[in-house]
Structure 1
Amino acid sequence: MEKYVGKKEIAELIGTFAMVFCGCGAMTVDEITGGSITHVGVAITWGLIVMTMIYAFGEISGAHFNPAVTVAFAFAKKFEWKKVPRYLLFQTIGVFLAIGILWVLFPESESFGHTYPAEGFQPYKAFILELLLTFFLMVVIINVSTGSKEIGTMAAIAVGAVILLEAMFAGPMTKASMNPARSLAPAIISGNIQHLWLYLTAPFIGALLAVVSCKLVKDDNCCDKDC
């Protein structure tokens, strides 16, 4: 019987932890220092940490670091459904560990990278934007990956670049989450759960639509199982 906790799950935990600690950490430090990192700096931080974690763990676990990506890979038949719950569990643990440490380090923060629509930007608009952001992200991931593994120089650069790009232009409006687990922990720890629903649903829908688009524009075997 396959062990419940294996190298892949630990890689997902560490990679997701590092991603959220650095990305949400940049947002937290920017908040408590009055903007010393700047919006551009936060976007670059997100892009760079995702890129480096793909380099580090892509060949081990596939470097998903995102429940929406994992579910989309399974839907695309590039990842086994039986492995999905374990990946989601360890991704979520990684996020909560990261936000928990940020809470200990920076208790004066009010958000810890919490995701929410900008003032005056209606929730349904934020839902649509998050759906599209995740759609674009998954389109890139599924087209540069091999099976469920984002391997190689160009894959890491492409995925890191699209996250940097989306964080750059959409961050001011929705914080550009694209990741249900990444939004869950800050919302719970900060107690700001009013708009959590859209960050738990839109990324999954966007990622699944990206898989559908793959089937429409590529060969019939674009989503053959290759785990």
Structure 2
Amino acid sequence: MSPRNARNDRHRPPEAPWPPRRAPLPVRLWRWRTEIVLAAVVATVAVLAAAGLREGRWWPFLALTSTVWFPAATRSGREWALSRLHCLTTRHRLHRVCMETPLHTRSGRLPLIMRITPTAAGERVVVMTRAGICAADFRAHAEEIAAACFAHRVVVTRHPRRSNLVVLEVVRREAHTPAGLSPGFERVYGETGWTPGRPPGRGSGGPPEPDRLPRAA
């Protein structure tokens, strides 16, 4: 087990000496920006539909119900909505696990989540680390991150030149995904050959991975 994990450091006190401070209001609003915008859009559309019904116009109400029920009636629409919901959940759970573990600075600042997109296996999260935090810290707390995100496991990958950029592959289901990163990802970050992290338990004296445990007879 990695000594970077506070649970494996016998010389570290059980509680962190610098508890993370409460984020300022603009930061909290930015973290909840998607939910705030979505709630504003839904409220605006509902008000317009109600106003149309009072005036005897049914088309706003029909347009609203069709927008909601048509995607829900198709499998692709439900999968699209569920994947976006998982992205929102993963973002907030990552913020929380960084607060509860040493994945924050002494002043309480959390790593920046630059981008989060759905994949065939789960979600891909691009994180920009703060000073004092590196990819090895995320590898050491991969189990905590996976548990916080309700995932099967988390794979940590580091940028080959910019060591402050880390990719977290949140694996919720074992699905076949193409090798490498998506073309859009490479176009934005301009690099291939990201360095994968060594899973805990391989050559480090730790327990084997859960998916490699022998089955009971």
Structure 2-normalised TM-score?
A: 0.27
Higher strand share: 2
Question: Which is greater in Rg?
Answer: 2
Higher helix share: 1
